[in-house]
Structure 1
Amino acid sequence: MLGPDDIRFFLAVAEAPSLAAASRALDVSPPAVTQRLRALEERLGVHLVDRAGRHLALTDEGELIAERGRQILDSLGELDEALAARRGQVVGHLRIVAPLGFGRRHVAPVAAAFQAAHPQVAIDLMLSDRLGGVPAGTFDLAIHVGEIAQAAPGLIARRLAPNDRVVCAAPAYLSARGEPASPEDLRAHACIALRENDEDVTLWRFRRDGAEARIRIEPRLASNDGEVVRGWALAARGIILRSEWDVADDLRAGRLVRLLPGHALPEAPVMALLGAPNRARAARTRRFLDALAAALDPPPWRT
């Protein structure tokens, strides 16, 4: 017989790449995880996990328990929430995924305020610039900056706020190297690339009067961290292509200068992706999404 605590324990093991990772997620020692897993297998009379090598692999029985266990916990969560709703409360565990920089600046403050307003909600905010590498079943709400061509099956997309992309550089860089008059001029400049998501980050696309120009840059500086890339631009090391939300303050203060204003770049709106339908309907998910949308209306980077 499996209880909710057993299911939560096994899901932590199933979603971890190793027993050591599972022990960190559960905040217990690796021997304690091994001992509890062995006891669970003995009690059920089936083998749940293959532990050959450094990685874990679920057996067919383990996959069955993980799949049905998630459904059971979701159902219990819905029951708790339905009862709490009758008492006028918001409860449950809210799992959010957001990009590193945008998540730190705009999602984390809303999460803290929301949890303070709803003390019975536990929020787990994971920051990652590779949303595609996060399994859809592991989050209730994901924030993405950029157009979503097609949401993965079972996910619901909602647009939260507008956000442009801009090409910019520091005044000191432009004094030394001059200002590009056309996208083609960028080939003669020091351009800096931000490697995030799975985009082709060295292909910069511009549109003017219905015509598109595709410029392949050859960066001498590149990073997967937006703060690093922005810091290099502020230090006059080159030209960057960044989201409006990240550089709006620098543009207003004159620390960076917007380039090629007559050429449009692909928009990068702030989008929300909702997980499984039952989670999307959960009061905690809906209310947090409304709180985040309110915090982004009007967009802080345009005020």
Structure 2
Amino acid sequence: MTDTADIRFLLTIQRSGSLVATGRTLGVSPSAVSQRLQQLEKKLGTRLIDRTARKLHFTEEGALLCQRGADLIEQFDALFDELHTRRGGLVGALRINGPLGFGRRYLAPVVADFQRDHPDVDISLTLSDQPLTETADRFDVVVHIGELRASNLIGHAIAPNARFLCASPALVRRFGMPEAPQDLAHLPCIVLHENREDASLWHFSKGRTSTSVRVASKLGCNDGDVIRRWALEGRGIVLRSEWDVADDIRKGTLVRLLPSWKVPDANVVALTRNRAGLPRRTREFMQYVQSRFRPHPPWRE
């Protein structure tokens, strides 16, 4: 007879996608993962996963065990959550994913403080330059900034976040202040590669007028902190989130350009797989995050 540890082990393989990635997640070698999988298959008397050099393919029995097992694990965890809640605390695991820069500056402190207040909750925070491209079922909460394309995930508002066009005072002195979005096509710009967006096509609006500009970029990066530093060094114009450059604009180390033209906002949202039926630890974490960014987010203090 299998137990919850075996089911959790199999679900970890499914989420990770390979024995090597499973080993990294569990902190063991791939050979140890393979050996444990063989023992589980021997115990059940059936093959669960067909292994090839490049990928894993779950057999019909393995897929069934994952599907039914995930439901059982959720019920099992909910039962113990309820028992623990009756004693006044939260318990269980919480897997969170978020963007690199925002995650380092704003999300990581919130996660650490929440875990300090709820010591029986085990939290794993993963930061990525493309959080939405990760496998959704690997995480309980995904923090996202910007437009949310069609998705089966449920969005929860966290904080407002505008985007600003800005450059260093030195670059403005060298090239002059642009008067219209079209001027950007002839100025050095720096682009951010994230969320598989068309990074060099920038959109602007003023009243009922909308326009888009294809900027010429000799510098680009997938890390927002890098392009912000390049902007501070006078290497080009950047289009960055308010949370990242508000302090620089206040200090005068970056100058906001074309302030009468608006670019699309990039509000901060938290995404979950369901709106109802979330574990209490997930619901309370969401409320905790929202409380830390209300009534005003720290970049608007």
TM-score of the pair, normalised by structure 2: 0.96
Partner of 1:184 in structure 2?
A: 182
Partner of 1:108 in structure 2?
A: 108
User: In structure 2, how many angstroms separate the alpha carbons of the residues matched to 1:184 and 1:277?
Assistant: 43
User: In structure 2, how many angstroms separate the alpha carbons of the residues matched to 1:17 and 1:34?
Assistant: 13
1:248 aligns with 2:246: yes
1:69 CA displacement = 1.6
User: In structure 2, how many angstroms separate the alpha carbons of the residues matched to 1:277 and 1:179?
Assistant: 47
User: In structure 2, how many angstroms separate the alpha carbons of the residues matched to 1:296 and 1:277?
Assistant: 20
What is the aligned counterpart of 2:194 among 193, 196, 215?
196
1:115-130 matched pairs, under 5 angstroms: 115-130=115-130
Partner of 1:210 in structure 2?
A: 208
Partner of 2:170 in structure 1?
A: 172
Partner of 1:90 in structure 2?
A: 90
Q: Deviations for 1:58-95, whole angstroms, at most 9, x for unmatched residues? A: 12221111122211111111001111111111111111
User: In structure 1, how many angstroms separate the alpha carbons of the residues matched to 2:269 and 2:13?
Assistant: 31
**Aligned partner letter, 2:195:** N
1:142 aligns with 2:139: no
User: In structure 2, how many angstroms separate the alpha carbons of the residues matched to 1:114 and 1:290?
Assistant: 11
Q: Deviations for 1:118-143, whole angstroms, at most 9, x for unmatched residues? A: 01101111112323322222211111
1:302 CA displacement = 0.5
Aligned-partner SS, 1:281:
coil
User: In structure 2, how many angstroms separate the alpha carbons of the residues matched to 1:27 and 1:68?
Assistant: 26
Q: Deviations for 1:135-179, whole angstroms, at most 9, x for unmatched residues? A: 2222111111113244x22x2211111110100000111111111
User: In structure 2, how many angstroms separate the alpha carbons of the residues matched to 1:243 and 1:226?
Assistant: 9
- 8 A Cα contact 2:141 2:270, kept in partner: yes
What is the aligned counterpart of 2:236 among 235, 238, 241?
238
Percent of pairs identical after alignment?
47
Q: Once structures 1 and 2 are overlaid, which stretch shifts more, 20-29 or 204-213? A: 20-29
4+ residue runs of structure 1 moved beyond 3 angstroms? none
**Aligned partner letter, 1:6:** D
Partner of 1:292 in structure 2?
A: 289
Aligned-partner SS, 1:112:
helix
Aligned-partner SS, 1:212:
strand
1:227 CA displacement = 0.9
**Aligned partner letter, 2:100:** L
- 8 A Cα contact 1:140 1:276, kept in partner: no
User: In structure 1, how many angstroms separate the alpha carbons of the residues matched to 2:14 and 2:170?
Assistant: 52
User: In structure 2, how many angstroms separate the alpha carbons of the residues matched to 1:149 and 1:282?
Assistant: 26
Q: For residues 217 and 290 of structure 1, do their structure 2 counterparts lie closer, same or farther at Cα, with a shift above 3 Å needed?
A: same
1:294 CA displacement = 1.2
User: In structure 1, how many angstroms separate the alpha carbons of the residues matched to 2:23 and 2:178?
Assistant: 54
Q: Once structures 1 and 2 are overlaid, which stretch shifts more, 127-136 or 193-202? A: 127-136
Count of residues in correspondence between the two structures: 300
Aligned-partner SS, 2:217:
coil
CA RMSD in angstroms comes to 1.3
User: In structure 2, how many angstroms separate the alpha carbons of the residues matched to 1:17 and 1:260?
Assistant: 46
User: In structure 1, how many angstroms separate the alpha carbons of the residues matched to 2:267 and 2:15?
Assistant: 31
